[in-house]
Structure 1
Amino acid sequence: MEITRLDGIGPKRAALFHELGIFSLKDLIWDFPTRYEDRSRIYPVEDLADLGEKTDLVLEVGLTSLSRLIRLKGRQSIQKASFLDDTGKVDVVFHNQAYLGRNLHCGDSFFLYGTYDPEKRRMANPAMVNRKNRDKVETFLGIRPVYRLCKGLSQDLRVKAVHQALDLLEDEDLDPFCPDLIGPLSLPPLLDSFRRIHFPSSKEDLALGLEGVGIRLAILDLLVKSTVKARRVREKAPHMEGKSLQPFFQALPYELTPGQGEALDEMVGDLLSPRPANRLLQGDVGSGKTVLAFALAYLTHLNGYQSTLMAPTEVLARQHFDKAKALFADLDLPLFLLTGSSSREERAEVEEAARSGVAGLYIGTHTLFQDSLAFSSLALVVTDEQHRFGVNQRSRLQEKAILPNSYVLSATPIPRTLELVAMGELDLTQLKGLPPGRQAVDSFVLDRRYEKRIFAFAEKLAREGGQTYIICPRIEGGEDDLSLWSVEEVCRRAREYYGDRVTIDALTGPMSGPEKERVMEGFASGKTSILISTTVIEVGVDVPTARLMVVLCADRFGLSQLHQLRGRVGRGKDKSYAVFVYHKPSKTALGRLKFLASTEDGLAIAKKDLALRGGGDPFGESQHGFLPDRLMGLQDLLTRPDHPLFLKAEESLTRTFGPGILEGDPQALKAIKDPLRSAIFDKMEKTAHISRN
């Protein structure tokens, strides 16, 4: 049923829900509250004196005085009021709510909900409802859900819509699980669990609702994982034999680290297996993931097959190509480069080689999956920095071979990738350790008042031969506060500060290819000391003398992206630094930055990103977004196979279908009937692009 089935939601309001990805009543009730406001306890005013910190609370008070509205600059205003109960008086201030005066009358009683500040001894901008309005009071008090919104949608409208949806839907519309599977768990009906989650009467009530939905999701995840396992066992990879990699190791100018050796052994084992590899190689920036991809490409070449390495930018693709040329100079491995700027003749050469089966390494950008490029013996697909590619882009390159071995390289996997690891579609290899001589990057979180100190430190590093990146959230200025941090404005302030003492240049996405190359060449050669840029340098820049990374408005960036930016420094022997400058951050954003500064563990950062942003829609192609299992912490499956929800789910599955159900036993899986069977295949098809045939 579409969202327009609800009273009061016509095409215009439906379009607002569509902005949030909500199209049907099912979408609406699966979009759980992001948090709850506990309005179940009403404080007497006299208790406010005992509060030692800011506290969210409810007061039941009468209005005793209302000051004259004071209008400030623009549409800003301020109005003060006093409220009273039997135990004392409390002051309240209303900012930019000029309309309130028409609805406030001395002598009326109200419920107020907001944050009381014990230092200022007042409450600011509380939510409020007149006690005379009994219908609104009923939904105002208790444990109130807080939902995601967009401009034009209010919390009250979302609450009303969810109430209606729960009344219209039937349990059989929602629950694909058979009674034999769910019955022994003594779970409430699924619709009842939804009611408890959206409108809990207590924390214990919420926990019951979460358990009812959580176990069902855990069962579905385990069945998907088991079905994926059964499918992968039946798949056949291009046949490869063990060949000596000694010539490759001798060509390297250094020895592999122990971590690289362990990871390579695991991945070579994949290639020699009859089952096609589908593996994530996670390793921190600078840990040496690319050289392992080259080793796999060399082994693939020795077996007479083609391989591809796809990079997200031309700069990075060319960098990989240049490194491969130097490494394979004496190893007789044909190399090809294909990017958006390749000439017609270069494209024709690459297309002919791919079509005729030349067993080389084909390096490029998204141009590798253009329709005109047809490989005849592609056995290895490597995707570098996969967070920069869309779901469909990655899958299209894999479709150019029947069943190629597929590897994804990433320092900080996107949440969706971790979801695929959890469901068994991607195996995981962690590359631990850094090459000898590398030092950890010291990270700091500062506010914008430190700009001149940061400029001074960058100048000190420049005198020592070090270089600095300054990353801005936008290119040009504007009328809002962020104009302070545009490339245009930061360049102006930096040139004003440094004069002729330090060389400065700027780099942005819209610049032409030759102009970008000129700027990057100047920085790579050391002619430029400070490069002011957008995130265009997030990947593909390897400058060992870069020692300082400054990210302005860092609270506007995601954790994974910030970690990638930090990885642009610390690539040489000298100590390096990262400074994350925030601009009016929320508590969540500031906490995120402090977490980032406390660790350089890319997988830990990715998991934190997953917990904060969600893993995307497992039934579609969104790569992030909050889902029910995020609320319940089901991402613990990655690190905690003993999670209570999954233990209960495993017990229920083995009791109903036998122990083989968890190992992908085909006979056990055949016993699963619709609608649960359809739910399993729907999730597989939309998440992992695996057809039900």
Structure 2
Amino acid sequence: MLSELAKPVMYLSGVGPKKSELYEKLGVKTVYDLLYHFPRYYIDLNEPQAVRDAPLNEQVVLKGRVVRKLPEGNIRRGLTVYKAIVTDDTADITIVIYNAGFMFKALEVGHEYYLVGKLTGNMLRREINSPQIYPVAGTDPVQPVYRLTEGLTQKQLRQNVHTALGALDGSIYEPLPNDVVREQGLCSLSYALQNVHYPTDMHTLELAKSRLVFDELLTLALGMLMMKNRSRDNTGCQMNDESVDEYFSALPFELTAGQKSAINDCIEDMRKPFPMNRLIQGDVGSGKTAVAAGAAYFAYKNGCQTALMAPTEILAGQHYDTLKAFLEPLGVKVVLLTGSLTPKKKEKIKAEIAAGEYNVIVGTHALVQASTEFKRLGLVITDEQHRFGVEQRAMLAGKGDHPHKLVMSATPIPRTLALMIYGDLDISVLKELPKGRQPVETYAVTGKLRERAFGYVKQYLEEGRQAYIVCPMIEESDSDLRDVKSYAKEISEGAFSGYRVGLLHGRLSAESKEKVMKKFKAHELDILVSTTVVEVGVDVPNAAVMVIENSDRFGLSQLHQLRGRVGRGEHKSVCILITDNPTEEVVQRLKILSSCHDGFEISQQDLKLRGPGDFFGSRQHGLPKMKIADMSQDMDVLVRAQETAKQILCKDTHLDKGENRGLRELVERLFEQETAND
């Protein structure tokens, strides 16, 4: 890295200590950070519209000459209005400025200006309120607009970026090998940085962005592949080729082709000298646990123990019941280890696990405690990867001699994106639903039909079924929580006064959440009012109807996940999406969900509509934050970057060669930053 770019931004001419504190709020600490603080969007002044033809009530770019400044007017105390008449010789327009006397004063009669803002009025009298104003003389034709913090202006930031670009001093700062730049048809990095901040037109901007997007996705692909290669220590549990046919035969149902294929993937991995690192990615109800059981049976046949860690006790209990039913008839001993067991019971089970008396151990975080020891741990399975920190997964794996690792996730993600997010894992995808699973009928309605929807729910309750009602908590704020609590109180005293109503939300302790879910599972509650904490997990076959309030506030993938909580038994199931905001976009999104039941297809649509930032909610999947790449738009670049990363690492595993050292710095920088953010 050039020493100039690694300097703290405070020492850049024109910044200083006070302004550097403001920059820190934007995540800008060095000159390098400033150069990579890219504009949010751009205003193109190259082709202004004629005032006469510009559309009303839309954002426009105009160019005109000030012909007259009107006397200032005081509407009320503290509010002064300034007006000026501007013409472009096709029509006149009035600029209206509130309180900003300095802006009005800067306008000079006879001078030309660009105006950017919303045009209002009618064909005879047109106005533009509080526009952005740029003098035509000396203004760059494409204006970048940056993310700011209070105390920092666009003008100051642009000046500081200009100074930082000067630090490059025309020198060739080029982290990519020359052959990659040539093969991908990329501009130089100096050119890209100059033109992403100071483009002369949209073409140069696109050239610059293409280079920077490729850099970012290549860095990410390299980092993910290097993480994958890093875990290639030999395993102490390399397994022999044992048949699992008796497992297939003993199951009371036929596995899907996807399930069989995933089990075979696991067996093939576990016979290799280094640890398996595999993700089983399947839609809600695709039968991931049956795959996990098949892998555990193969480990058992090889004399190894399996540990399955779930994020909650109730989920661990579910997995325990399933694995016990699948495996115990085959002689496999299964045990459940959770925090709520009595100390005496816990101590006894731990001693038996250490002695090798149990083959499959299912549990919660209790599995990673120092006092939990295994005799020969060969396979570690974690459910819902994003619910566990990297450290917890590593601690569990540390209980054995580089055991094989299997991760299960019910979040369907488009394959190319999954390869990036789970770059350190091989992926098996379960596409088909097991026989007997029926799709959940889904209806989208407006709030006007809420009472009718509640009447429909009552029909199910009268038949002895149970219902979920999901309410969003946007900020996990006190006001949101108040809304959810008051909603639950309102329906329990009103529409559902004769029924047993429970409440579940993220602010409850883990113990309280478990208690509520256990009551619901035992049918001690008829209706569970819940926030999205119900999204992952509990299997309640008797719950056959779900109402999702304010469904427009959720992403499609999240709605699909929530919907998967019903339809888990023999009863016909329904999901009703209610919205009080039926805009064209909301109607389009909810239509997709009503007509489609394929989680992978839904996730692809969700990615297109919302982009990956929102798609992953609070970045639960550990994907480093992108500064300029947009994975919903740049999928083709992502594929090219992944291919290039493989070719580079094939010849230089650790990026040690001279031509790859710049790339190694980029990778280290991206992943150091990610660790700091976590």
Q: TM-score range, shorter-chain basis?
A: 0.7 to 0.9
* Structure 2 residue identity aligned to 1:26: Y
Give the 3-state SS of the residue equivalent to 1:307 in structure 2.
strand
Larger mean CA deviation between 182-191 and 384-393 belongs to 182-191
Whether the 8 Å contact between 1:306 and 1:358 is mirrored in structure 2 is no
Alignment of 1:2 onto 2:1:
no
Whether the 8 Å contact between 2:566 and 2:574 is mirrored in structure 1 is yes
**Distance in 2 between residues matched to 1:300 and 1:130, nearest whole Å:** 70
Whether the 8 Å contact between 1:469 and 1:549 is mirrored in structure 2 is yes
Whether the 8 Å contact between 2:309 and 2:383 is mirrored in structure 1 is yes
* Residue correspondence of structure 1 range 352-431 to structure 2 within 5 A: 352-358=351-357, 360-412=359-411, 418=417, 421=420, 425-431=424-430
2:91 counterpart residue number: 88
**Distance in 2 between residues matched to 1:107 and 1:413, nearest whole Å:** 59
Of 53, 58, 61, 1:57 maps to: 61
2:4 counterpart residue number: none
Whether the 8 Å contact between 2:214 and 2:637 is mirrored in structure 1 is no
1:112 counterpart residue number: 115
User: After superposition, what is the alpha-carbon deviation per residue over 1:481-519, rounded to whole angstroms, capped at 9, x for unaligned?
Assistant: x57x82112123323541534442212344456654553
Whether the 8 Å contact between 1:615 and 1:626 is mirrored in structure 2 is no
1:321 counterpart residue number: 320
Of 22, 34, 52, 1:46 maps to: 52
2:527 counterpart residue number: 530
1:658 counterpart residue number: none
* Residue correspondence of structure 1 range 79-478 to structure 2 within 5 A: 83-85=85-87, 86-90=89-93, 99-100=99-100, 103-104=103-104, 111-116=114-119, 126-129=130-133, 131=135, 138=139, 142-149=141-148, 155-156=154-155, 158-169=157-168, 175-179=174-178, 182=181, 187-216=186-215, 235-236=234-235, 238-358=237-357, 360-412=359-411, 418=417, 421=420, 425-443=424-442, 451-474=450-473
Question: Is the alpha carbon distance of 1:667 and 1:220 closer, same or farther for their aligned partners in structure 2, counting shifts above 3 Å?
Answer: closer
2:566 counterpart residue number: 569
Percent identity between the two aligned chains: 33
Alignment of 1:498 onto 2:495:
yes
Give the 3-state SS of the residue equivalent to 2:630 in structure 1.
helix
* Structure 2 residue identity aligned to 1:33: P
Larger mean CA deviation between 353-362 and 319-328 belongs to 353-362
**Distance in 2 between residues matched to 1:683 and 1:416, nearest whole Å:** 26
Whether the 8 Å contact between 1:93 and 1:123 is mirrored in structure 2 is yes
Question: Is the alpha carbon distance of 1:421 and 1:494 closer, same or farther for their aligned partners in structure 2, counting shifts above 3 Å?
Answer: same
**Distance in 2 between residues matched to 1:430 and 1:269, nearest whole Å:** 16
User: After superposition, what is the alpha-carbon deviation per residue over 1:566-618, rounded to whole angstroms, capped at 9, x for unaligned?
Assistant: 221232344444455567799998877666666444345556559431999xx
Of 38, 45, 48, 1:32 maps to: 38
Following superposition, the deviation at residue 631 of structure 1 comes to: 6.6
Following superposition, the deviation at residue 244 of structure 1 comes to: 3.3
Following superposition, the deviation at residue 426 of structure 1 comes to: 1.6
Of 539, 549, 555, 2:536 maps to: 539
1:657 counterpart residue number: none
**Distance in 2 between residues matched to 1:443 and 1:156, nearest whole Å:** 51
Of 664, 668, 676, 1:682 maps to: 668
Larger mean CA deviation between 227-236 and 163-172 belongs to 227-236
Following superposition, the deviation at residue 291 of structure 1 comes to: 1.7
Question: Is the alpha carbon distance of 1:466 and 1:626 closer, same or farther for their aligned partners in structure 2, counting shifts above 3 Å?
Answer: farther
Of 507, 516, 520, 2:517 maps to: 520
Following superposition, the deviation at residue 532 of structure 1 comes to: 0.9
* Structure 2 residue identity aligned to 1:613: G
* Structure 2 residue identity aligned to 1:267: C
Give the 3-state SS of the residue equivalent to 2:315 in structure 1.
helix
User: After superposition, what is the alpha-carbon deviation per residue over 1:171-202, rounded to whole angstroms, capped at 9, x for unaligned?
Assistant: 77953334465467674431221222233222
2:3 counterpart residue number: none
* Structure 2 residue identity aligned to 1:568: R
Following superposition, the deviation at residue 378 of structure 1 comes to: 1.9
Question: Is the alpha carbon distance of 1:581 and 1:129 closer, same or farther for their aligned partners in structure 2, counting shifts above 3 Å?
Answer: farther
Question: Is the alpha carbon distance of 1:497 and 1:226 closer, same or farther for their aligned partners in structure 2, counting shifts above 3 Å?
Answer: closer
- Mark the runs of 5 or more structure 1 residues left unpaired by the alignment: 654-660
* Residue correspondence of structure 1 range 13-32 to structure 2 within 5 A: 14-15=20-21, 17-32=23-38
Question: Is the alpha carbon distance of 1:353 and 1:38 closer, same or farther for their aligned partners in structure 2, counting shifts above 3 Å?
Answer: farther
Alignment of 1:613 onto 2:619:
no
**Distance in 1 between residues matched to 2:456 and 2:154, nearest whole Å:** 47
- Number of aligned residue pairs: give it: 657
**Distance in 1 between residues matched to 2:284 and 2:457, nearest whole Å:** 22
Following superposition, the deviation at residue 382 of structure 1 comes to: 1.4
Give the 3-state SS of the residue equivalent to 1:498 in structure 2.
coil
Following superposition, the deviation at residue 11 of structure 1 comes to: 5.6
Give the 3-state SS of the residue equivalent to 2:280 in structure 1.
strand
**Distance in 1 between residues matched to 2:147 and 2:46, nearest whole Å:** 22
**Distance in 1 between residues matched to 2:423 and 2:478, nearest whole Å:** 48
Whether the 8 Å contact between 2:80 and 2:99 is mirrored in structure 1 is no
Whether the 8 Å contact between 1:415 and 1:624 is mirrored in structure 2 is no
* Structure 2 residue identity aligned to 1:530: I
Give the 3-state SS of the residue equivalent to 1:212 in structure 2.
helix
**Distance in 2 between residues matched to 1:667 and 1:525, nearest whole Å:** 54
Following superposition, the deviation at residue 433 of structure 1 comes to: 0.9
User: After superposition, what is the alpha-carbon deviation per residue over 1:179-228, rounded to whole angstroms, capped at 9, x for unaligned?
Assistant: 46546767443122122223322222122113333454566567667766
Normalising to structure 1: TM-score of the pair? Answer: 0.78
* Structure 1 residue identity aligned to 2:668: D
Give the 3-state SS of the residue equivalent to 2:458 in structure 1.
helix
**Distance in 2 between residues matched to 1:415 and 1:685, nearest whole Å:** 23
Question: Is the alpha carbon distance of 1:476 and 1:266 closer, same or farther for their aligned partners in structure 2, counting shifts above 3 Å?
Answer: closer
**Distance in 1 between residues matched to 2:85 and 2:597, nearest whole Å:** 51
User: After superposition, what is the alpha-carbon deviation per residue over 1:41-100, rounded to whole angstroms, capped at 9, x for unaligned?
Assistant: 222210125x7x84543453647668966679xx9x997968542333456778xxx634
Larger mean CA deviation between 382-391 and 412-421 belongs to 412-421
* Structure 1 residue identity aligned to 2:497: D
**Distance in 2 between residues matched to 1:68 and 1:459, nearest whole Å:** 62
Normalising to structure 2: TM-score of the pair? Answer: 0.80
RMSD over equivalenced CA pairs, Å: 4.7
**Distance in 1 between residues matched to 2:202 and 2:460, nearest whole Å:** 54
Following superposition, the deviation at residue 110 of structure 1 comes to: 5.3
Give the 3-state SS of the residue equivalent to 2:490 in structure 1.
helix
**Distance in 1 between residues matched to 2:625 and 2:366, nearest whole Å:** 29
User: After superposition, what is the alpha-carbon deviation per residue over 1:15-42, rounded to whole angstroms, capped at 9, x for unaligned?
Assistant: 5544544332323333433433333322
Following superposition, the deviation at residue 538 of structure 1 comes to: 1.8
**Distance in 2 between residues matched to 1:456 and 1:59, nearest whole Å:** 59
**Distance in 2 between residues matched to 1:87 and 1:636, nearest whole Å:** 44
* Structure 2 residue identity aligned to 1:664: C
Question: Is the alpha carbon distance of 1:265 and 1:59 closer, same or farther for their aligned partners in structure 2, counting shifts above 3 Å?
Answer: same
- Mark the runs of 5 or more structure 2 residues left unpaired by the alignment: 1-6
Following superposition, the deviation at residue 239 of structure 1 comes to: 1.7
* Residue correspondence of structure 1 range 577-656 to structure 2 within 5 A: 577-581=574-578, 599-606=596-603, 608-609=606-607, 611-613=611-613, 623-630=623-630, 633-636=633-636, 641=639, 643=640, 649=644
